[in-house]
Amino acid sequence: MPRDFKEKFFLFGIAIIAVLTILPLFHIIYSVVVEGLPVLLKGGFKFLFGTLAPPGDGLGGIGPAILGTFILTFLASLIGLPIAVMTGVYAAEYPESIFGRLARVLLTIMMEFPTILVGLFVMQILVIPMGRYSAIAGALALAIVMMPYVTVYTEEALKSIPFMYREAAFGLGLTRFKVVFRVLARMAKKGIVTGMLIGMAKVAGETAPLLFTAGGANRIYFAGVDRPVGAISLLIYNLVQQPYENYHEIAWGASLVLMLIFLAIFLPLRLSLKEVKL
């Protein structure tokens, strides 16, 4: 076989494999839009703000689930982001310390950890003692899922700053705290914020950690952090298991909403964040 032909054949093969790997992604987006958009259009505003319809009777709305997803993501961020960023900063600043090394090992484990086990863990420490599902339990489970991503991104972003900037900052007679938080962390802002958004986007769509923690609520809106709360992912999970036609429709509509929220977190990441030239 001539070499030229072999090369072309090889490239062609790679192209096919590349297309095959992204095909499922496009198929998901395609079917979510095709199935979900008509539901959204038919349901209108009521679909976004209303409460769940009875079985077999119209579309109603998924308002409590949407609000729940926002509340859970917000609370999880409130708990998870500060701890995760601090841990990332610590691991970057003191890589040789016991805590720094421990953090790195634990994080790699946590990243691969089955999220359903996180849900079980939070159920044990929060749901059972409290005697009920709650927004705070769901948020804690999501925070635990979120933290390793944010920590790793923070650590990597700080570590990628060239040593000469660290020298410049220390050379001005700044304390270590100020060097890290007032100079380097801001320099690494893009990486840190990327990590935060990836963490948030990840947990916004999570189902497993919420199964035994958030409880779900589809007919009432938010009732307090110590009360059960809905989530879009939980709602989809529950609805597709039901035998009712209208519930399947609602699930498609909810899927589209979830995908849009996901994109809403990711797009600013790509568009508005100013790149720092190093």
Residue at token pair 């494999």:
17
DSSP state of 218: S
Nearer to other proteins, 162 or 268 (CB): 162
CA 138 to chain centre: 13
Q: How far is the CB of 272 from other proteins (least distance, A)?
A: 15
Among positions 225-244, residues that touch other proteins (CB under 8 A) are none
Among positions 62-81, residues that touch other proteins (CB under 8 A) are none
The window from 29-37, 43-51, 173-181, 260-268 that contacts other proteins (CB under 8 A) reads: 173-181
DSSP state of 181: I
Q: Which of 29, 164, 260, 263 binds other proteins (CB under 8 A)?
A: 164
* Separation between Cα atoms, residue 246 and residue 19, nearest integer Å: 35
Nearer to other proteins, 56 or 95 (CB): 95
Encoded one letter per residue, x for contact with other proteins by CB under 8 A and - for no contact, window 122-161 reads ----------------------------------------
* Separation between Cα atoms, residue 18 and residue 32, nearest integer Å: 22
Q: How far is the CB of 152 from other proteins (least distance, A)?
A: 22
Q: Which of 27, 42, 182, 219 binds other proteins (CB under 8 A)?
A: 182
Nearest in space to 146 (alpha carbons), one of 82, 206, 208, 200: 200
Q: Are the CB atoms for 235 and 218 separated by under 8 Å? A: yes
Residue 263's φ and ψ, nearest 5 degrees, are -65, -35
Nearer to other proteins, 46 or 190 (CB): 190
The secondary structure of 182-201, three-state, reads HHHHHHCHHHHHHHHHHHHH
Task: Tell me which residues touch other proteins (CB under 8 A).
Answer: 96, 162-175, 178, 182-183, 186-187, 189, 276-278
